[in-house]
Structure 1
Amino acid sequence: MLRGVLAVVAVAGFAGCSSDDSPEPDRTTITVDTMRNALLKPADVGPTWKTPTESAAPAQLVSICGADTAPATIPGKPSVVSAPLSDEGTEGVQSLTQHALVYEDAVSAATALATLRTVADACPPSVQRPAKSGEREEPAYTETAATQPLEEGAWTGFVTLRTKLYDKAHPATADVAVTALARGNVVLVDQYAIYRLGRSDASANPQFSADWKKLVGTTLSRIG
């Protein structure tokens, strides 16, 4: 069995006192440093998680619709902080790809979220793909996708959930959750994926829903 995703404990911050002569700090703008510190590190998730040696180019996001669709383009011109993680076992692989898009203002962030939601809404509910050969060899599969609204405290956005079933000659499943959540001037885009070998039914990953929600919730709790 794959190692389960471990929850981390959020660290509570504290605010200093200010005099009448000192203006209150602007707590509505989230900084790049705040997001960099909030994104999960391997030790935050579990002892078998690592930073992969190869990862996607920093100028692109993950694929929202899956199948053969290209990674989503980063909307606008935000500062981008990324943190990919992976856990490779003998019976499958888990991965967590995190992108924090830090914009100058809330309007830009809201526009970016709407752009990503437009991409998600256009995802086909089901696709079938033949086997691939060559460098990216992959058996034939069927993949379903569904998008629904998502709210986590003051963060609002959506999640696209995908399930991939490979042909019976190569039994395996893949479950993917792509979340996009905005608050203030930031859009957080997370992709949690779990691939399991030797399974041939869509219910092979009973903890999938709880795991992606736990990972996203932990990151948000670290922002404050």
Structure 2
Amino acid sequence: MFVTGRVARTAVTALCALAVAAGCSSDDGEKPDTSNISVTTMRGALLQAAEIGPTWAAPEESADPNQLVSICGGTTAPPEVPPGGQVVASPLADEGEKGAQTLEQIALVYGDKSGADAALAGLKAIADGCPANLSVAAVDNDTRNEPAYTETVRVQPLEDETWSGFTVIRHKEYEKTHPGTADVAVTIVQRVNVVLVDAYAIYQLSNASSGSQFDADWKKLVGTVVQRVG
């Protein structure tokens, strides 16, 4: 069962795929499939709202198709989509009175492995440059209203038999006068000609999210997608 920090949801099956340092491996002697992955395959692999829970839905406003999600957090702008690939996206959100969850799923499908290699290398370079600790002042203007907060950022490698890449884990704590937290996992992994960018975030008011639960949740979500591809 997929359980969020706010309300329990019926959801996807827990999978071994991409569990960090879990040692998940096949002993059947089969070689990984190195054939190109199609746009149709990736479109079918991305999760839909009904598969996660009844309160999830696609957002009303569409995201900029030329931008990915923010990797480093803080005030850093989201990177542009690496050139040469076709974008397949499925953004989802679950909003409530005491918090919210979002899931950004973006598959970049290239004509060959070299295009995906270059895209992953460019995004990894951005992640390697993320500061480990951020302190951001409050913002209150016509487009954004957010209290001051501190944010920690760490990068960890991910790899199984067919997908490899990394995850950026961010934890945000707001100032005491506006208690609340946000946990974000931006996973970027590659298989042959595809780069998958999967960002799961949970925002909570007045309390901190469970680290172990959050860690399990983002792995389930990413794991389901990569398992569907094979």
Query: Which of 36, 59, 69 in structure 2 is aligned with 1:52?
Result: 59
Corresponding residue number in structure 1 for 2:41: 34
Find the residue that maps to 2:91 and give its secondary structure: strand
Deviations 1:76-123 (A, max 9, x none): 210000000001112100000000000000111011101100000000
Greater length-normalized contact order (CA 8 Å, ≥ 6 residues apart): 2
Q: For 2:227 and 2:109, how far apart are their aligned partners in 1? A: 17
Q: For 2:13 and 2:185, how far apart are their aligned partners in 1? A: 22
CA contact (8 A) 2:69 2:78 kept: yes
Q: For 2:123 and 2:129, how far apart are their aligned partners in 1? A: 10
Given the alignment of the two structures, is residue 95 of structure 1 paired with residue 107 of structure 2, yes or no? no
Q: For 1:143 and 1:39, how far apart are their aligned partners in 2? A: 29
Cα deviation for residue 54 of structure 1 reads 1.4
Cα deviation for residue 5 of structure 1 reads 5.1
Given the alignment of the two structures, is residue 118 of structure 1 paired with residue 122 of structure 2, yes or no? no
Find the residue that maps to 1:207 and give its secondary structure: helix
Corresponding residue number in structure 2 for 1:221: 227
Find the residue that maps to 2:6 and give its secondary structure: coil
Q: For 1:124 and 1:111, how far apart are their aligned partners in 2? A: 23
Corresponding residue number in structure 2 for 1:23: none
TM-score (structure 2 length as normaliser): 0.86
Query: Which of 177, 185, 189 in structure 1 is aligned with 2:197?
Result: 189
Cα deviation for residue 222 of structure 1 reads 1.1
Q: For 2:10 and 2:211, how far apart are their aligned partners in 1? A: 16
Deviations 1:42-67 (A, max 9, x none): 01111111001013211110000011
What amino acid is aligned across from residue 174 of structure 1 in structure 2? A
CA pair 5-161 structure 1, distance change in 2 beyond 3 A: farther
Structure 1: unaligned runs, 5 residues or longer: 11-25
Find the residue that maps to 1:145 and give its secondary structure: strand
CA contact (8 A) 2:13 2:220 kept: no
Which structure has the larger Rg over C-alpha atoms?
1
Given the alignment of the two structures, is residue 132 of structure 1 paired with residue 131 of structure 2, yes or no? no
TM-score (structure 1 length as normaliser): 0.88
Find the residue that maps to 1:157 and give its secondary structure: strand
RMSD value, Cα: 1.7
Given the alignment of the two structures, is residue 156 of structure 1 paired with residue 164 of structure 2, yes or no? yes
Deviations 1:143-182 (A, max 9, x none): 1100111114310000000000000000000000000000
Corresponding residue number in structure 1 for 2:217: 211
Query: Which of 37, 57, 77 in structure 1 is aligned with 2:84?
Result: 77
CA contact (8 A) 2:87 2:108 kept: yes
Cα deviation for residue 9 of structure 1 reads 5.3
Q: For 2:158 and 2:178, how far apart are their aligned partners in 1? A: 34
What is the count of residue pairs matched by the alignment? 207
CA contact (8 A) 2:133 2:152 kept: yes
Q: For 2:8 and 2:198, how far apart are their aligned partners in 1? A: 18
Identity of aligned residues (%): 55
Query: Which of 67, 71, 74 in structure 2 is aligned with 1:64?
Result: 71
Query: Which of 3, 18, 26 in structure 1 is aligned with 2:7?
Result: 3
Find the residue that maps to 1:124 and give its secondary structure: coil
